[in-house]
A and B are shown apart, each in its own frame.
Chain A
Amino acid sequence: MNDALTFHFDVDGENFVSAGQASVQVKKNLRELGFPPEVIRRVSIAMYEGEINMVIHAGGGEADVDVFEDRIVIVLTDRGPGIPDIDLAMQEGYSTATDRVRSLGFGAGMGLPNMKRYTDEMRIDSTVGKGTVITMSILVNNR
């Protein structure tokens, strides 16, 4: 199958209560398409973390999901402040989240590490002052 099934979502930047809606919808779609539970779980976790990051740090953004038979590709695009030091941001426990965000249970510095852990490939393209594009792939038969 070469033609991907694609889903597009606008992620609202100010709404913590509804954060995760795109991820929940993708989970539902993948379940209906019959993907294995562990694949759905990995996609859900990686995408939710990315979605929350866009809400916390970038004032929202866009999420595009391409579903192929053998892999799922998630592209998260924002026009936020960018990530000055990607190696630092990838360290578990490093976070620039505010106290308010932390009081909601976020900001543990696990978002990007979780995204890497649960995906087979992850690329971060970020320009300070312009924004960030994160591309993640999950292979269906890999685990």
Chain B
Amino acid sequence: MRVSELIDKYGMKALSLPDPDREIAGGYCGDLLSWVMGRAQQDNAWITIMSNMNVVAVASLSDVSCVILAEGVTLEQGIVDTARGKDVNVLSSEKSAFEIAALLAPDV
């Protein structure tokens, strides 16, 4: 499934979408950045409630396909700009991390 499909299919909001056609393969939920760095796989969708600048760095370096911010969390504009500049897809959902993971699981 492509990252852009999350918007229509699950009503997610795109905060930064420089690479909409990127394929998602699996997912990872977590807010501790080192844990995510160590365990998330390339092309995963990373579901988190963390929203500071370091999230963009971790997403870029661990090469996940997108970050999905749960619980309606959003990003400051400066962080959105950085995400776009670093080719990091970031979406936001009103649903909880658990609900998002359950929704995506059959598709990715």
How many residues on B have C-beta within 8 angstroms of the other chain's C-beta atoms?
20
Asked, given contacts A20-B61, A44-B61, whether A108 binds B33 with beta carbons under 8 Å apart, the answer is yes
B2-41 interface bits toward A, Cβ cutoff 8 Å, 1 = contact, 0 = none: 0000000000000000000000000000011111011000
- A interface residues, Cβ below 8 angstroms from B: 16-17, 19-20, 23-24, 27, 37-38, 40-41, 44-45, 48-49, 52, 104-106, 108-111, 113-114, 117-118
How far is B61's CA from A25's CA once the two chains are assembled, in angstroms? 10
- Cβ-defined partner of A108 (8 Å) among B32, B54, B57, B86: B32
List 10 interface pairs A-B (beta carbons < 8 Å), by A numbering: A16-B52, A19-B57, A20-B61, A24-B86, A38-B42, A44-B63, A45-B61, A48-B57, A106-B33, A113-B38
B50 is an interface residue with CB less than 8 A from chain A: yes
Contact A110 B55 (CB under 8 A): no
Contact B34 A110 (CB under 8 A): yes
Contact A17 B62 (CB under 8 A): no
Q: Which residue of B lies closest to A102 (CB)?
A: B32
Q: Please name all residues of chain A whose beta carbon is closer than 8 Å to the beta carbon of B54 when the two chains form the complex.
A: 16-17, 19-20, 104-106
Q: Which residue of B lies closest to A19 (CB)?
A: B54
B58 is an interface residue with CB less than 8 A from chain A: yes
Q: Which residue of A lies closest to B57 (CB)?
A: A20
Q: Which residue of A lies closest to B51 (CB)?
A: A105
How far is B51's CA from A43's CA once the two chains are assembled, in angstroms? 24
- Cβ-defined partner of A17 (8 Å) among B38, B53, B60, B63: B53
Asked, given contacts A27-B61, A41-B63, whether A49 binds B37 with beta carbons under 8 Å apart, the answer is yes
Asked, given contacts A23-B61, A24-B57, A41-B62, whether A105 binds B52 with beta carbons under 8 Å apart, the answer is yes
How far is B62's CA from A110's CA once the two chains are assembled, in angstroms? 15
Q: Please name all residues of chain B whose beta carbon is closer than 8 Å to the beta carbon of A52 when the two chains form the complex.
A: 34
